[in-house]
Protein backbone atom coordinates (compact mmCIF):
# COMPACT_ATOMS: atom_id res chain seq x y z
CA UNK A 1 0.00 0.00 0.00
CA UNK A 2 1.38 3.38 -1.03
CA UNK A 3 0.04 6.75 0.07
CA UNK A 4 0.37 9.99 -1.84
CA UNK A 5 -0.37 13.37 -0.29
CA UNK A 6 -1.44 15.85 -2.94
CA UNK A 7 -2.58 19.46 -3.02
CA UNK A 8 -5.17 20.72 -5.48
CA UNK A 9 -6.82 24.06 -6.14
CA UNK A 10 -10.56 24.67 -6.25
CA UNK A 11 -10.93 27.71 -8.49
CA UNK A 12 -13.55 30.32 -9.26
CA UNK A 13 -15.17 28.17 -11.95
CA UNK A 14 -16.30 25.66 -9.32
CA UNK A 15 -16.74 27.96 -6.31
CA UNK A 16 -20.34 26.81 -5.83
CA UNK A 17 -19.65 23.09 -6.19
CA UNK A 18 -20.12 21.14 -2.96
CA UNK A 19 -17.72 18.67 -1.37
CA UNK A 20 -19.51 15.54 -2.61
CA UNK A 21 -19.29 16.82 -6.18
CA UNK A 22 -15.58 17.50 -5.68
CA UNK A 23 -15.16 13.91 -4.47
CA UNK A 24 -17.06 12.49 -7.45
CA UNK A 25 -15.04 14.65 -9.84
CA UNK A 26 -11.79 13.35 -8.38
CA UNK A 27 -13.00 9.73 -8.48
CA UNK A 28 -13.89 10.07 -12.17
CA UNK A 29 -10.56 11.74 -12.96
CA UNK A 30 -8.59 8.97 -11.22
CA UNK A 31 -10.46 6.36 -13.27
CA UNK A 32 -9.93 8.24 -16.53
CA UNK A 33 -6.21 8.59 -15.78
CA UNK A 34 -6.10 4.82 -15.13
CA UNK A 35 -4.21 5.31 -11.89
CA UNK A 36 -3.79 2.28 -9.56
CA UNK A 37 -5.94 3.62 -6.71
CA UNK A 38 -6.64 1.21 -3.85
CA UNK A 39 -10.24 0.31 -3.04
CA UNK A 40 -12.01 -0.48 0.18
CA UNK A 41 -13.43 -3.94 0.83
CA UNK A 42 -17.09 -4.82 1.08
CA UNK A 43 -20.23 -4.81 -1.05
CA UNK A 44 -19.65 -1.28 -2.40
CA UNK A 45 -15.88 -0.76 -2.67
CA UNK A 46 -14.74 2.87 -2.95
CA UNK A 47 -11.48 4.46 -3.96
CA UNK A 48 -9.32 5.25 -0.91
CA UNK A 49 -9.35 9.04 -0.90
CA UNK A 50 -9.18 11.16 2.26
CA UNK A 51 -9.63 14.93 2.36
CA UNK A 52 -8.26 17.15 5.10
CA UNK A 53 -11.17 19.49 5.79
CA UNK A 54 -13.97 19.72 3.20
CA UNK A 55 -14.56 23.19 1.79
CA UNK A 56 -18.01 24.66 2.14
CA UNK A 57 -19.98 25.70 -0.93
CA UNK A 58 -18.88 29.16 -2.08
CA UNK A 59 -15.31 28.90 -0.75
CA UNK A 60 -12.39 28.43 -3.13
CA UNK A 61 -9.12 26.80 -2.12
CA UNK A 62 -5.57 27.42 -3.31
CA UNK A 63 -3.82 24.39 -1.75
CA UNK A 64 -6.26 21.72 -0.58
CA UNK A 65 -4.62 18.54 0.83
CA UNK A 66 -5.90 15.09 -0.07
CA UNK A 67 -4.45 11.62 0.57
CA UNK A 68 -4.76 8.95 -2.12
CA UNK A 69 -3.75 5.33 -1.57
CA UNK A 70 -2.29 3.30 -4.42
CA UNK A 71 -1.79 -0.43 -4.97
CA UNK A 72 1.37 0.16 -7.01
CA UNK A 73 4.17 2.62 -6.31
CA UNK A 74 4.03 5.60 -8.65
CA UNK A 75 6.33 8.59 -8.81
CA UNK A 76 4.79 11.93 -7.78
CA UNK A 77 5.81 13.37 -11.16
CA UNK A 78 3.98 10.64 -13.08
CA UNK A 79 0.89 10.98 -10.92
CA UNK A 80 0.82 14.76 -11.38
CA UNK A 81 1.20 14.50 -15.15
CA UNK A 82 -1.50 11.87 -15.59
CA UNK A 83 -4.10 13.35 -13.24
CA UNK A 84 -3.84 16.93 -14.55
CA UNK A 85 -4.33 15.68 -18.10
CA UNK A 86 -7.91 14.71 -17.24
CA UNK A 87 -8.92 17.29 -14.61
CA UNK A 88 -11.84 19.64 -15.44
CA UNK A 89 -11.69 23.44 -15.54
CA UNK A 90 -11.32 25.00 -12.11
CA UNK A 91 -9.64 22.04 -10.42
CA UNK A 92 -5.96 21.22 -10.80
CA UNK A 93 -3.29 19.43 -8.77
CA UNK A 94 -0.33 21.55 -7.67
CA UNK A 95 1.94 19.18 -5.78
CA UNK A 96 2.26 15.49 -4.89
CA UNK A 97 4.60 13.68 -2.50
CA UNK A 98 4.99 10.13 -1.23
CA UNK A 99 4.15 9.63 2.46
CA UNK A 100 5.87 7.42 5.01
CA UNK A 101 3.83 4.30 5.91
CA UNK A 102 1.97 4.37 9.20
CA UNK A 103 1.70 8.15 9.46
CA UNK A 104 -1.34 9.91 10.93
CA UNK A 105 -4.52 10.19 8.93
CA UNK A 106 -4.85 13.51 7.16
CA UNK A 107 -7.92 14.69 9.05
CA UNK A 108 -6.27 13.83 12.39
CA UNK A 109 -3.19 15.83 11.39
CA UNK A 110 -4.93 19.21 10.94
CA UNK A 111 -3.76 22.26 12.84
CA UNK A 112 -4.96 25.54 11.31
CA UNK A 113 -5.85 27.18 8.00
CA UNK A 114 -5.42 30.64 6.49
CA UNK A 115 -8.36 32.32 4.75
CA UNK A 116 -8.75 35.44 2.64
CA UNK A 117 -12.05 37.36 2.73
CA UNK A 118 -12.83 40.00 0.08
CA UNK A 119 -15.79 42.31 -0.38
CA UNK A 120 -16.65 45.86 -1.47
CA UNK A 121 -17.61 48.43 1.16
CA UNK A 122 -16.74 52.08 1.76
CA UNK A 123 -14.97 52.40 5.13
CA UNK A 124 -13.78 56.00 5.70
CA UNK A 125 -11.77 54.98 8.77
CA UNK A 126 -10.49 51.68 7.34
CA UNK A 127 -10.92 48.27 8.92
CA UNK A 128 -8.03 48.20 11.41
CA UNK A 129 -10.09 49.57 14.31
CA UNK A 130 -12.74 46.90 13.82
CA UNK A 131 -10.15 44.14 13.75
CA UNK A 132 -8.50 45.48 16.92
CA UNK A 133 -11.89 45.54 18.65
CA UNK A 134 -12.41 41.88 17.76
CA UNK A 135 -8.95 40.81 18.91
CA UNK A 136 -9.27 42.66 22.23
CA UNK A 137 -12.24 40.48 23.20
CA UNK A 138 -11.61 37.68 25.69
CA UNK A 139 -14.71 35.86 24.52
CA UNK A 140 -16.44 35.70 21.15
CA UNK A 141 -19.63 33.69 21.52
CA UNK A 142 -21.32 32.13 18.50
CA UNK A 143 -24.31 29.82 18.15
CA UNK A 144 -23.40 26.63 16.34
CA UNK A 145 -26.01 24.18 15.08
CA UNK A 146 -25.51 20.46 14.53
CA UNK A 147 -27.55 17.26 14.42
CA UNK A 148 -27.27 17.17 18.21
CA UNK A 149 -28.87 20.59 18.55
CA UNK A 150 -27.62 24.10 19.27
CA UNK A 151 -24.86 25.24 21.57
CA UNK A 152 -22.95 28.41 22.38
CA UNK A 153 -19.19 28.36 21.79
CA UNK A 154 -16.40 30.78 22.54
CA UNK A 155 -14.39 30.81 19.30
CA UNK A 156 -11.94 33.53 20.36
CA UNK A 157 -9.12 31.05 21.21
CA UNK A 158 -9.48 29.54 17.73
CA UNK A 159 -8.87 32.86 15.94
CA UNK A 160 -5.08 32.90 15.80
CA UNK A 161 -4.68 35.85 13.47
CA UNK A 162 -6.90 38.54 11.92
CA UNK A 163 -5.26 41.17 9.71
CA UNK A 164 -5.90 43.69 6.95
CA UNK A 165 -4.55 42.18 3.73
CA UNK A 166 -4.02 45.40 1.79
CA UNK A 167 -7.49 46.94 1.56
CA UNK A 168 -7.72 49.90 -0.84
CA UNK A 169 -10.69 52.19 -1.37
CA UNK A 170 -13.84 50.10 -1.21
CA UNK A 171 -11.92 46.88 -1.94
CA UNK A 172 -11.70 45.29 1.51
CA UNK A 173 -9.37 42.34 2.10
CA UNK A 174 -8.57 40.58 5.33
CA UNK A 175 -6.80 37.38 6.24
CA UNK A 176 -7.67 35.11 9.14
CA UNK A 177 -5.86 32.14 10.65
CA UNK A 178 -8.33 29.74 12.24
CA UNK A 179 -7.92 26.51 14.19
CA UNK A 180 -9.24 23.41 12.44
CA UNK A 181 -8.71 20.97 15.30
CA UNK A 182 -8.76 20.76 19.08
CA UNK A 183 -11.44 21.60 21.61
CA UNK A 184 -12.43 24.82 19.83
CA UNK A 185 -12.46 25.56 16.11
CA UNK A 186 -13.64 28.57 14.14
CA UNK A 187 -15.23 29.07 10.74
CA UNK A 188 -14.60 32.09 8.48
CA UNK A 189 -18.31 32.80 8.19
CA UNK A 190 -18.60 32.98 11.98
CA UNK A 191 -15.78 35.52 12.18
CA UNK A 192 -17.42 37.71 9.53
CA UNK A 193 -20.78 37.49 11.34
CA UNK A 194 -19.16 38.72 14.56
CA UNK A 195 -17.43 41.58 12.72
CA UNK A 196 -20.84 42.65 11.45
CA UNK A 197 -22.31 42.57 14.95
CA UNK A 198 -19.59 44.52 16.75
CA UNK A 199 -18.96 47.17 14.10
CA UNK A 200 -22.01 47.61 11.93
CA UNK A 201 -20.08 46.57 8.80
CA UNK A 202 -22.29 45.30 5.98
CA UNK A 203 -19.82 42.75 4.54
CA UNK A 204 -22.17 41.95 1.66
CA UNK A 205 -21.44 39.00 -0.65
CA UNK A 206 -17.94 38.28 0.68
CA UNK A 207 -15.69 36.03 -1.39
CA UNK A 208 -13.79 33.49 0.70
CA UNK A 209 -10.64 31.63 -0.26
CA UNK A 210 -8.74 29.12 1.83
CA UNK A 211 -5.10 29.93 1.16
CA UNK A 212 -3.60 26.84 2.76
CA UNK A 213 -3.85 24.26 5.52
CA UNK A 214 -1.18 23.67 8.16
CA UNK A 215 -0.55 20.10 9.35
CA UNK A 216 1.15 19.01 12.56
CA UNK A 217 3.54 16.64 10.79
CA UNK A 218 5.09 16.45 7.35
CA UNK A 219 5.52 12.67 7.10
CA UNK A 220 6.94 12.65 3.59
CA UNK A 221 9.83 10.52 2.30
Residues of the chain with CATH 3.30.70.580: 2-99
Tell me the per-residue pLDDT of 79-110, one tens digit each, with 9 for 90 and over. 999 999 999 999 999 999 998 877 788 888 89
Per-residue pLDDT for the chain (221 aa), expressed as one digit of tens each?
Answer: 799 999 999 999 999 999 999 999 999 999 999 999 999 988 888 999 999 999 999 999 999 999 999 999 999 999 999 999 999 999 999 999 998 877 788 888 899 999 999 999 999 888 999 999 999 999 999 998 888 888 899 999 999 999 999 999 999 999 999 999 988 999 999 999 999 999 889 999 999 999 999 998 755 45
Class of domain 2-99: alpha beta
d(CA 65, CA 107): 10
Q: Which CATH architecture has domain 110-215?
A: 2-Layer Sandwich (3.30)
The pTM assigned to this predicted structure is: 0.92
Pair 7, 94: CB distance under 8 Å: yes
Amino acid sequence: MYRLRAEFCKGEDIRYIGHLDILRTLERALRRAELPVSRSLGFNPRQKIAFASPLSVGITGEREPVDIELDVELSPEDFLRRINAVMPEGMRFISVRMMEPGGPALMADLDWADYLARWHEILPDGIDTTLELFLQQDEISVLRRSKKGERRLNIRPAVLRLEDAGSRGDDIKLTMRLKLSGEVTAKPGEVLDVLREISGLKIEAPLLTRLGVQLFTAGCK
